[in-house]
Amino acid sequence: MKTLKFGGTSLANANKFIQVSSIILNQVKNDQIAVVLSAPANITNQLEKIIQKYTFNHIVPIEIFINIKKFFLQLIDDINIIHDKYPINKIKKKITLKFKQLNNLLDHIQTLNYCPDKIYAQIISMGEILSAYIMKAILETLGNKVTLLDPVKLLLANNNYINAVVDIHKSKKRFKKLKIYKQDIIIMPGFIAGNQFNELVVLGRNGSDYSATLLSICTNSHICEIWTDVNGIYTSDPNTISTARPLSEITYQEALELAYLGAKVIHPASIKPLQYYNIPCTIKNTNNCNHPGTLITNQNKNNSDIIKGITYLSNMILIKIYSIKNIQIANISNKILKYLSDKNISVYLLHQSLSSNTISFYVHKNNTLNIKKKIKKILNKEIQKKLIESIIEIKNLNIISIVGNNIKKYNVKIIKKICLSLEKFNNKIFEISYNISNISLSIVLHTNNIINIIKKIHDFIINKTIPINIFLIGIGGVGSELLKIILEQRDKLEKKFIQLNVNVIANSTKYITNKTNINLNNWTHEFAVSKKNFYLKKILILVKKYGYLNPVLIDCTASQDIANEYNSIIKSGFNIITANKKSNSSLLLDYLSVHQIANKYDKKFLYETHVGAGLPIIDNLKNLIKSGDHLIKFQGILSGSMSCIFGQLDDDITISDATKQAQKLGFTEPNPKDDLSGIDVARKLLILAREFGYSIELTDIKIEKILPKHFETINNKKKFLLQLKKLNNQFTEKVNYAKCKNKVLRYVGTIKGNGSCSVRIKEVDNNSPLYHIKNGENIFVFYTKYYQPIPLIIRGYGAGNKVTASGIFSDLLRIIL
Ligand code: ADP
Ligand code: ASP
Ligand code: MG
């Protein structure tokens, strides 16, 4: 025998009823099948709403009543379209009869002027009874024999009409007396049982899962299958946490803890009896029958996943009782627990402290009205005798729980990660609590941001994914190239659990944004049509709003204004990666301030591309210095354009032609005058020197001017190139003079051990590593304490959008180191 339970989500319409009938018939071939059915989705809620509305307004909301009836009549009409032999008239009569009964019950509560629990149970269980009739008729239409069981007569429960508990032993005996033919399919409406007076009682909301457990035990099923609308038990609710994943196996204890602490995929009451009778349970998806689902057993086979899931309960109320005499603590807790258990109110995180003489616990808002008042009433005697100092109530709390075997072993790591996840949300942890069986760890928070927090903790703790949230400003050559690299590399990194999310793309006038991720296949179009005006402060606040874990602002502009804001950007929670040399080559005080603020706020400030574009210079230097090295002397060709121009001079090309050619190849700034002025090389040299700890300003660097003074006033590019021709002869002479000595001219940046820096044209012979550097290549020659007399040399292309973007990308991965 096998028991299958189909929840409301599996019975939402005619097609789903038919789908469920096929699942049942598929299984009938191998086993005798017992089926538990819920009410179609939302029907119980609607029935409950009728009662609630009546209780508040004393008027029966007739429109809800009519809608429910309409739903069932439409349902069987639709089934009849699919199966034309469906006994529609017979079922219609049943439905009409049921609604007459419902009408009578509603009349009854109007006469009484309130709704007793007994009637409440009869009303809200109607959906289950109709589901069972409707399904029975479908299976019979398809030529099967069906036995319909009456849970009121078979499942003996206590006298609680709303949250009844079933006596399994006695119910089992009743089942033994039943005669069911082997070929029959058994159907039983879920959610319902009967008390000793044969009155209908219900098993609590979501109680059909419990019915499935009871039927599995009473029919000696070898397995209980719970069919729902998701692929099993997930690491968190998949309908709110998109990155949650289904668990293939889980123990009863873990399932119970997840269910109790908020995973509503299975009712907690259904698990313990299954464990006691050792009946395995699978949670399966009606909409995806071939998915294996989650198997719940006694064994914890897959030990690799220690943490099984994250759940949450919102709208929780904390009750804290301060008592004076600690001898009273046990008495008071007993009284409270008895009351809550009688009322079937679940209690969470109950603590009693003998040192502070307090008892505290949480209950769900929906479970009880005015809980504080009720507790006061129960403890009236103690209050009168002044044994209780005060009772406080705090509402709107959330309990987030991490569930997994032996969780205490990992508590430090877990709590650290939770704290990191919460950091961005400015939420204080109210309480941290373990359950006694060492299977869950709960934290209590007061927040309106619960879903985002759960998402963060889930990704961090379960998926172990490290997100990097990117805000890119500047979408010229480098910025655009960077977005291409991110798009290319993203999937590969995702496999290594690094998630690159681009959340903002901006230029100096406008921006686009997406809370999760901008679609990089379409960003240019989205950007073109965007009407959002760029305003730095507007985008900075997004970090706190969305609680990004590793936000990074990438500055691909050349803007002094943006560079001036680095301190406030870091204070807003960002790491910074910059290709904009303006900040590091500014005044020493400003340079130091950004570095200090980054340090103070524990943020990364990275600028690998400031020197040598994509070449690995800065990071290597930092590592060398950390390991105790220091500079003796540096020499290098730090500019792609100067490397290209001076390299051509070797081949007797004039300086003006060489400059034009370098411009054509894309090595120069828009106006090549900016390259030949030497200032760009000086800025890079300044950044390098500061990296070695020299406290210098840009003005301390001696720049040998290539251009005569009158060039300073020529700003027009064409005019500049024409004027440059006038320098051709002078340069040819210099080149030839060097050639006589078997030397070439190079534009060289130098840092001496005492920190003095210069940028100038140098003659170098072929013993120098600089001799062969041309065609845009850069070279960096470091003579250090560790690297001498043979220096550390790094050479390669030091300019171009692609290599610069790749340098920024390597910084991006350093964010999470
Ligand atoms: P049914 O109608 O089949 O009883 P429920 O709506 O009661 O279905 O339960 C299924 C729902 O439980 C899913 O749609 C999902 O949103 C929710 N759920 C909450 N937590 C989890 C979890 N950890 N794993 C799977 N589903 C979960
Ligand atoms: N229909 C009932 C409810 O919605 C029982 C169940 O579906 O489990 O609570
Ligand atoms: Mg359910």
Band the pLDDT of 681: cuts 50, 70, 90: very high
Beta-sheet pairing, 511-513 with 551-555: unpaired
57 and 34, same structural domain? yes
Residue 305: per-residue pLDDT: 56
User: Which atom of ligand 1 is nearest the CA belonging to 41?
Assistant: 2
657 class by beta-carbon count within 10 Å (0-12 exposed, 13-18 middle, 19+ buried): middle
CATH of the domain at 748: 3.30.360.10
- Per-residue pLDDT, averaged over 440-462, amounts to 89
| Tens-place pLDDT, residues 311-342 | 999 999 999 998 777 667 888 888 999 998 88
Please say whether the beta carbons of 64 and 53 come within 8 A.
yes
Q: From the CA of 254, which ligand is nearest?
A: 1
Provide the 3-class DSSP secondary structure of residue 317: strand
Can you tell me which residue has the tokens 């072929």?
A: 766
What is the CA(381)–ligand 3 centre distance, in A? 41
- Per-residue pLDDT, averaged over 220-229, amounts to 97
Residues in the chain: 817
CA distance 507 to 529: 14
Q: In the chain, how many domains are there? A: 4
* Full domain range(s) for residue 19: 2-229
622 and 560, same structural domain? no
CA distance 25 to 38: 18
Q: From the CA of 39, which ligand is nearest?
A: 2
In-domain check, residue 195: yes
What element of type H or E holds 684?
Answer: helix 679-691
CA distance 32 to 219: 10
CATH of the domain at 569: 3.40.50.720
Q: From the CA of 233, which ligand is nearest?
A: 1
478 and 429, same structural domain? no
Residue 495: per-residue pLDDT: 78
630 and 554, same structural domain? no
| Tens-place pLDDT, residues 703-728 | 998 888 888 888 888 889 899 999 99
3-state secondary structure 50-103: HHHHHHHHCCCCHHHHHHHHHHHHHHHHHHHHHCCCCCHHHHHHHHHHHHHHHH
Residues tagged active-site: 684
648 and 763, same structural domain? yes
In-domain check, residue 262: no
544 and 441, same structural domain? no
| Tens-place pLDDT, residues 597-652 | 999 998 999 999 999 988 999 999 999 999 999 999 999 999 999 999 999 999 99
559 and 622, same structural domain? no
What is the CA(530)–ligand 1 centre distance, in A? 39
Atom 8 in ligand 2: which residue has the minimum CA distance? 206
What is the CA(87)–ligand 2 centre distance, in A? 26
Which of 56-60, 174-178, 496-500, 760-764 has the least mean pLDDT? 56-60
Ligand 2 pocket check for 189: Cβ under 6 Å = no
Ligand 2 pocket check for 659: Cβ under 6 Å = no
Residue 318: per-residue pLDDT: 95
What is the CA(121)–ligand 2 centre distance, in A? 12
Percent of the chain whose pLDDT exceeds 90:
73
| 147, amino acid identity | T
Band the pLDDT of 688: cuts 50, 70, 90: very high
622 and 603, same structural domain? no
In-domain check, residue 370: yes
- Ligand 1 lining (C-beta closer than 6 Å): 7-10, 38, 206, 228-230, 233-234, 236-239, 258, 263-265, 309
Residue 302: per-residue pLDDT: 60
| Tens-place pLDDT, residues 516-537 | 899 999 999 999 999 999 999 9
Residue 304: per-residue pLDDT: 54
- Domain boundary (613, 635, 656) is at 613
In-domain check, residue 587: yes
Beta-sheet pairing, 146-148 with 200-202: unpaired
Which of 78-92, 176-190, 658-672, 732-746 has the least mean pLDDT? 658-672
- What b/e readout covers 237-250, taking b as 16+ CB neighbours within 10 angstroms? bbeebeebbbbebb
In-domain check, residue 298: no
* Ligand 2 pocket test target in 6, 202, 205, 211 with most atoms within 8 Å of CB: 205
CATH of the domain at 404: 3.30.2130.10
CATH of the domain at 122: 3.40.1160.10
Residue 366: per-residue pLDDT: 81
392 and 419, same structural domain? yes
- Domain boundary (445, 461, 477) is at 461
In this model, does residue 233 exceed pLDDT 60?
Answer: yes
What is the CA(40)–ligand 2 centre distance, in A? 9
In-domain check, residue 813: no
User: Which atom of ligand 2 is nearest the CA belonging to 45?
Assistant: 4
Can you tell me which residue has the tokens 């001799």?
A: 771
Residue 57: per-residue pLDDT: 78
User: Which atom of ligand 2 is nearest the CA belonging to 8?
Assistant: 7
User: Which atom of ligand 2 is nearest the CA belonging to 267?
Assistant: 8
- Per-residue pLDDT, averaged over 670-678, amounts to 85
Strand order through the sheet with 249-251: 146-148, 185-189, 33-37, 2-6, 223-228, 281-285, 294-297, 249-251
Band the pLDDT of 409: cuts 50, 70, 90: confident
Residue 568: per-residue pLDDT: 96
- Domain boundary (461, 481, 502) is at 461
501 and 440, same structural domain? no
Q: What does the DSSP assignment read for 478-498?
A: HHHHHHHHHHHHHHHHHHTTE
In-domain check, residue 80: yes
Residue 326: per-residue pLDDT: 65
Q: pTM of the entire structure?
A: 0.70
In-domain check, residue 84: yes
Residue 596: per-residue pLDDT: 97
Please say whether the beta carbons of 756 and 625 come within 8 A.
no
398 and 522, same structural domain? no
Can you tell me which residue has the tokens 């290098």?
A: 636
The backbone torsions φ and ψ at residue 398, rounded to the nearest 5 degrees and listed phi first, read -125, 140
Residue 345: per-residue pLDDT: 87
766 and 625, same structural domain? yes
Helix axes 450-457, 411-423, angle to 10 degrees: 130
